[in-house]
Amino acid sequence: MKISVVGMGIMGSAMAGKLIAAGHEVTVTNRSPEKAGPLLASGAKWADTPAEAAASADVAITMVTDPAAVEAVSLGAAGILEGLGTHAVHAEMSTVSPSSAAAIAARYGERGARFVQAPVLGSRAQIEQGTLLVLAGGDASDIALCSEAWSAFAKRVWTLGEPEQASAFKLGCNMLIAQMILALGQSITFVRKHGIPAAEFLDVIDESALASPMFRSKGGALLKGNFTPNFVVRNLLKDVGLAADAAHEKGCTLPFNALAAELLTLAVTQGYGDEDYSAVVKTMARQAEVDIA
């Protein structure tokens, strides 16, 4: 297939690499061209704009950081919508607010263009292992076309209804990530204040019904003081904020999420914004005047 990837961040680059490896004809573009170097060396073509990238594609993937960027590469001047052929589908895979996904989908609909909102669970490691999870909202036939491309890096694709529902689904997951790290951090801080080694607590949790792969990996990193980012505090805070806005629009109150936003904000204030989101546990430990491990 002909597949273009817009956005050469960690995620977009990894996707493009796997698509090339799977034998697809891949075109890439990015605001700062130098990030595309390794992929061009591996055989990708360069496009100057999202519109140009979309023009040659069966599936045009966008994977960018913030909602403003999503809107710009989709609807802006020389954006995907300008170039996308009628046979092709735009697969928007970033984390955006449901209302923003709905707004973009509506604009595509007016033009008869095909749009799928498809945020993902997992990060670079999952892309490389081919175990990414895709949460896709849009027409089933459009999703089916995209799935041929996604099979290069995804383990499973869920078809979830409308584009905004896929976004809401993803935000529901990220809210859960925030709550789980804060829950773990709170309990660790509590037992540490009672002189219990964190390693022992993590060990017991890992044998209990509360065990999860996330507690295992983040717990291990906490013990080592390793906050090399997979997903930074700042981005989790952004998603928690998008969730709050979406909830309020729906008349749904999220008090735990609201406190999570405050604590993540404090973590950013303390200088942890660009560390892995598990660094928020350092903020909790500082408040309790205790060491994590």
Strand duo 132-136 + 120-121: pairing: antiparallel
Is position 261 an interface residue for a copy of itself (rule: CB under 8 A)? yes
Residue from 233, 243, 279, 281 in contact with a copy of itself (CB under 8 A): 243
Which residues are CB-contacts of 111 (< 8 A; sequence separation ≥ 6)?
81
Of 144 and 254, which CB lies nearer to a copy of itself in the complex structure? 254
Residue from 68, 106, 210, 293 in contact with a copy of itself (CB under 8 A): 210
Q: How far apart are CA 93 and CA 288, in angstroms?
A: 39
How far apart are CB 244 and a copy of itself at their closest, in Å?
8
Kindly write out the interface string for residues 117-156 of this chain, putting x where it contacts a copy of itself by CB under 8 A and - elsewhere. Answer: ----xx----------x-x-------------------xx
Q: How many other CB atoms are there within 10 angstroms of residue 193's CB atom?
A: 12
Q: Which residues pair with 46 in a beta bridge?
A: 28
How far apart are CB 194 and a copy of itself at their closest, in Å?
4
Read off the amino acid at residue 267. Answer: A
CA atoms within 13 A on the CB side of 234: 11
How far apart are CB 129 and a copy of itself at their closest, in Å?
12
CA atoms within 13 A on the CB side of 106: 7
Read off the amino acid at residue 131. Answer: T
Buried (b) or exposed (e) across 236-250, using 16+ Cβ within 10 A?
A: bbbbbbbbbebbeee
Q: How far apart are CA 44 and CA 252, in angstroms?
A: 45
Kindly write out the interface string for residues 27-66 of this chain, putting x where it contacts a copy of itself by CB under 8 A and - elsewhere. Answer: ----------------------------------------
Is position 254 an interface residue for a copy of itself (rule: CB under 8 A)? yes
Of 164 and 276, which CB lies nearer to a copy of itself in the complex structure? 164
Read off the amino acid at residue 168. Answer: A
**Binding span for a copy of itself by CB under 8 A among 19-27, 28-36, 161-169, 219-227:** 161-169
How far apart are CB 256 and a copy of itself at their closest, in Å?
5
What angle is formed at CA 152 by the lines to CA 274 and CA 107, rounded to 5 degrees?
70
Binding residues for a copy of itself, rule CB under 8 A, total 78
Is position 214 an interface residue for a copy of itself (rule: CB under 8 A)? yes
Tokens of 166: 């896929």
Q: Which residues pair with 116 in a beta bridge?
A: 91
Q: What Cα–Cα distance (Å) separates residue 146 from each residue in 152, 184, 232, 284, 290?
A: 11, 37, 28, 42, 49
How far apart are CB 124 and a copy of itself at their closest, in Å?
14
How far apart are CB 281 and a copy of itself at their closest, in Å?
13
Using CB under 8 A, which residues numbered 85 to 104 contact a copy of itself?
Answer: 98
Of 228 and 253, which CB lies nearer to a copy of itself in the complex structure? 253
Is position 217 an interface residue for a copy of itself (rule: CB under 8 A)? yes
Is position 190 an interface residue for a copy of itself (rule: CB under 8 A)? yes
Is position 241 an interface residue for a copy of itself (rule: CB under 8 A)? yes
Residue from 14, 96, 268, 281 in contact with a copy of itself (CB under 8 A): 268
